[in-house]
């Protein structure tokens, strides 16, 4: 273990930077799974020899796996240390990718996609670890970079997946993800240190099962509501049943001595408001990812841009790059103004981007410009969230709390998918006799307006979070008497 007061040498700084790079790369690789199959979604029934309703679960399965895994992986990381959970998550991604790469059977592919979703539990653990691994002067940049991968992965995954699906066999999508997972596993195992940060405890199995059951019910109902019908008994039953299970889960967790999620900590005003804002900002992030590609690919005769899937992905790619480019900007804002102001600014920029989008709908480059503004807001907001969480929870609950925050973002993205689907299918025009209707120009504008309203509400909520000392001050105090590099075994 490093001695107290040890100086930060160039060697330790280089090692810390290597750890940060590995955590960023691995988190990005895990996040790519969100959009991996979107370019081939319409072809999945044919490719897997199944019905469209069954094939749609190939997308939903990953969403469910990630939603359940994020808080649980965080809790495990707090109990057993972060590196073991990171390595296991990477191995799970490798296994899931290999299953999908070698099979064309829908049941096997669904299992593989669930495992790919579970592997996204890597991201919140990496966010909580990077704050410990990075030297003080790089801490905000490192947290911002890893946190932004949740948005960057989805944005960059679309053009990459579209290119692979267009020029190669669809199994190559999963071969590439398997290669990424293999590299991710090797780098995490060899470069990331084993920090002695485990805290004795037990895994709340009943709480984990209850959370999983409740989340699956609500998320399935919300994500499938537009396909099944919002008044369908199955939709109502899934959402209401899931909500009841979550209420019972909350009652149980409040009475458990070692809960999966400490709801009392989560109910603290800064944590609660950050998580509510996370839902709204997550909604804003996904709304443009759903709406803009459809507008780009819609025929020009009815107000669209007539772009191919690959072209649409390429027009969207600069948005993902914008999130990455704004990492140092977010870091500087965190240092200068604190996480509260930074997150509010991010949500405000996100809302501004949607307002720009309502005015720039006549050419692909205009949508690209609006998407870049939206993505800049997402990058800034996503960078500030974990900092607000980590500065308001005990160290023993850091990974679990970041995992819960990541879950809140996922709930926002899922809700956005459902809301956008309702709007786009409720305002349509006929393309040709016998052809399915397409969304009207007004439907797209309404979607952008809803995205702006959600982001603006998120900004307003953040402003109610109590003021705190700037992260720079807290970091300086925390590192005055100890070496910022992690103790390793």
pLDDT tens-digit map of 185-214: 999 999 988 776 656 667 778 888 888 898
Nearest CA to 78 out of 394, 471, 475 is that of 394
Inform me whether the pLDDT recorded for 463 exceeds 60: yes
Rounded percentage of the chain residues whose pLDDT exceeds 90: 27
Inform me whether the pLDDT recorded for 14 exceeds 90: no
User: What pLDDT was estimated at residue 101?
Assistant: 94
Mean pLDDT of 226-240: 88
Inform me whether the pLDDT recorded for 1 exceeds 80: no
Mean of all residue pLDDT scores within the chain: 83
pLDDT band at 483 (very low <50, low <70, confident <90, very high): very low
Inform me whether the pLDDT recorded for 302 exceeds 70: no
User: What pLDDT was estimated at residue 317?
Assistant: 83
Query: 234-273, pLDDT tens digit by residue?
Result: 999 999 999 999 999 999 888 887 787 788 888 888 899 9
Whether the pTM exceeds 0.85: the reply is no
Inform me whether the pLDDT recorded for 278 exceeds 70: yes
Inform me whether the pLDDT recorded for 448 exceeds 90: yes
């Amino acid at each position: 273990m490093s001695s107290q007061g040890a100086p930060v040498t160039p060697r330790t700084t280089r090692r810390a930077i290597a750890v940060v790079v590995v955590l960023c790369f691995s988190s990005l690789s895990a996040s790519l799974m969100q959009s991996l199959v979107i370019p081939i979604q319409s072809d999945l029934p044919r490719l897997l020899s199944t019905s469209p309703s069954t094939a749609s679960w190939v997308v939903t399965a990953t969403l469910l796996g990630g939603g359940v895994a994020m808080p649980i992986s965080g809790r495990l990381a707090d109990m057993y240390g972060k590196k073991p959970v990171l390595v296991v998550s990477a191995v799970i991604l490798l296994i899931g990718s290999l299953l999908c790469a070698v099979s064309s059977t829908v049941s096997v592919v669904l299992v593989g996609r669930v495992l790919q979703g579970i592997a996204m539990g890597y991201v919140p653990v990496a966010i909580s670890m990077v704050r410990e691994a990075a030297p003080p002067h790089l801490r905000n940049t490192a947290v911002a970079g890893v946190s932004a991968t949740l948005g960057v992965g989805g944005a960059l995954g679309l053009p990459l997946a579209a290119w692979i699906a267009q020029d190669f066999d669809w199994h190559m999508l999963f071969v590439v993800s398997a290669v990424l997972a293999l590299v991710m596993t090797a780098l995490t195992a060899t470069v990331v240190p084993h920090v002695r940060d485990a805290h004795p405890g037990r895994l709340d199995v009943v709480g984990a099962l209850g959370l999983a059951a409740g989340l699956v019910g609500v998320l399935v109902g919300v994500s499938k509501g537009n396909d099944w019908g919002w008044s369908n008994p199955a939709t109502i039953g899934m959402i209401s049943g899931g909500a009841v299970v979550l209420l019972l889960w909350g009652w149980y967790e409040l009475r458990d001595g070692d809960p999966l999620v400490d709801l009392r900590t989560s109910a603290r005003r800064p944590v609660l408001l950050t998580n509510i804002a996370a839902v709204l900002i997550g909604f804003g992030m996904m709304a443009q990812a759903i709406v803009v590609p459809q507008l780009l690919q819609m025929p020009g005769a009815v107000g669209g841009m007539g772009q191919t899937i690959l072209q649409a992905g390429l027009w969207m790619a600069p948005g993902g790059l914008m999130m990455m480019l704004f990492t140092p900007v977010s870091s500087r804002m965190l240092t200068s103004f604190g996480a509260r102001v930074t997150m509010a600014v991010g949500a405000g920029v996100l809302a501004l981007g949607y307002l720009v989008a309502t005015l720039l709908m006549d050419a692909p480059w205009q949508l690209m410009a609006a998407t870049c503004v939206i993505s800049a807001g997402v990058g800034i907001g996503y960078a500030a969230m974990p900092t607000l969480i980590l500065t308001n929870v005990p160290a023993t609950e850091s990974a679990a709390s970041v995992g819960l925050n990541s879950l809140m973002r996922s709930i926002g993205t899922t809700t956005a998918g459902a809301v956008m689907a309702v709007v786009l299918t409720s305002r349509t025009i006929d393309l040709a006799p016998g052809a399915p209707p397409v969304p009207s120009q007004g439907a797209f504008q309404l979607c952008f307006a809803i995205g702006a309203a959600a982001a603006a509400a998120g900004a307003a909520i953040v402003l109610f979070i109590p003021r705190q000392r700037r992260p720079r001050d807290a970091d300086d105090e925390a590192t005055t008497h100890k070496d910022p590099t992690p103790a390793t075994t």
